[in-house]
Amino acid sequence: MTQYAYFNGSIVPMAEANVSIACNTLHYGTGCFGGLRGYWNEEKETLYTFRLVEHYKRFLNSAKLLMCNFDYTPEELRDITLELLAREGWRENVYIRPLAYKDDGIYRVWLHDGNDKVAIFSQPVSSYLGEKMLNVCVSSWRRVDDTAIPARGKISGAYVNSALIKSDAVLSGYDEAVVLNQDGHVSEGSAANFMMVRDGVLITPPITSNLLEGITRRSILHLAQAELDLEVQEREIDRTELYIAEEAFFCGTGAQVSPIGSIDHRTVGDGKLGPVTEQIRDLYFDVVYGRNEKYLHWLSPVPQLEVA
């Protein structure tokens, strides 16, 4: 199978999609990216991509934060992605990575007036955090603040913060970390949003808590209210609330719905998959795999090319 990429305005074999080591973004992190998934539905023999337009709206907003000059609309980027995936013909789950970067030399440490470009490629993906109950700590690192580097967009340079958080957690024996804001409230995970259940209420920090405005987060908040009749609160979360939550999980394109078994050596609930998390996870997977008719409008099926 040949892997392709959208690069310099056209779809080319992946091996031809290369940038120079003098690329500005490689040095200064002045790019942004997206992370999307396609789910292979074996029964329907269809690859369903999840909320492409919403992902590309956020992608273009991230690019706007970085003063990129693009004429693309989210719908155009969706169509390019579907064409790329159709050419590749995956029959398995895939991860899709759009990247915006400044293809200038190394002398300009600024955002404006750049030679801004978009690249997109995909690759097969398995589960990301795995299926087990996660053993989590609260990170000693703090989340980047909106007054320094905006967390609400997927800014390449900000992922130094995520990498510091993740490596510190993993090398200390944990699977993941919850990270706090500069003001000490819960923000999110290293690369996923955070939700918990207290007294049956689904609670997640608001988008002003220095977190990525997650598409999965928004989708789950909608599904929880509209389909599961759950009470939902977007509000600040204190660190010690983590210790007495009944359930907790990370959510995101990569993490999907990843239940948390313990936080800072305190068992969450009884340490097993809780009923609210289970309901949300099952519904989420039904939706992304195209098994829930009501939410097919959240999915774009990849067209199948005729084999000559």
Ligand X SMILES: Cc1ncc(COP(=O)(O)O)c(C=O)c1O
In the residue annotation, 102 being an active-site residue is answered as no
In the chain, where does DSSP find H-type helix?
24-28, 52-65, 74-88, 159-171, 215-226, 239-244, 275-288
Q: Which of 82, 129, 134, 192 binds ligand X (CB under 6 A)?
A: 192
Q: Does 114 engage in binding with ligand X (CB under 6 A)?
A: no
Smallest distance, ligand X to C-beta of residue 179, A: 9
Q: Indicate the residue among 209 and 216 with the shorter CB distance to ligand X.
A: 216
| Radius of gyration (C-alpha) of the chain in whole angstroms | 20
Would you count residue 217 as binding ligand X (CB under 6 A)?
Answer: yes
CA torsion 10-12-17-23 (nearest 10°) is -10
Residue carrying the six token digits 């097919």? 296
124 binds ligand X (CB under 6 A): no
What is the three-class DSSP state of 18? Answer: coil
* Angle between helix 215-226 and 52-65 (nearest 10): 140
Q: Which of 94, 119, 203, 215 binds ligand X (CB under 6 A)?
A: 215
Q: Which of 62, 81, 122, 253 binds ligand X (CB under 6 A)?
A: 253
Task: Give the residue from 106, 102, 50, 98 showing the smallest Cα distance to 72.
Answer: 98
Catalytic residue among 102, 117, 154, 166: 154
- Residue 283 as a binder of ligand X (CB under 6 A): the answer is no
CA of 59: how far to CAs of 100, 103, 135, 215, in Å? Answer: 8, 18, 31, 11
Residue placing its CB nearer to ligand X in the complex, 114 or 260? 260
| Residues 116, 111: Cα–Cα separation, whole Å | 10
- The helix (H) or strand (E) run that includes residue 124 is strand 116-124
Nearer to ligand X, 2 or 126 (CB): 126
Among 38, 98, 205, 252, binds ligand X (CB under 6 A): 252
Binding to ligand X by residue 102, rule CB under 6 A? Answer: no
Contacts to ligand X from residues 137-176, by CB under 6 A? 162
260 binds ligand X (CB under 6 A): no
Stretch near ligand X under the rule CB under 6 A, chosen from 41-49, 133-141, 250-258, 284-292 = 250-258
Residues forming contacts to ligand X in the complex (CB under 6 A) are 35, 162, 188, 191-193, 212, 214-217, 252-254
User: What positions carry a catalytic annotation?
Assistant: 154
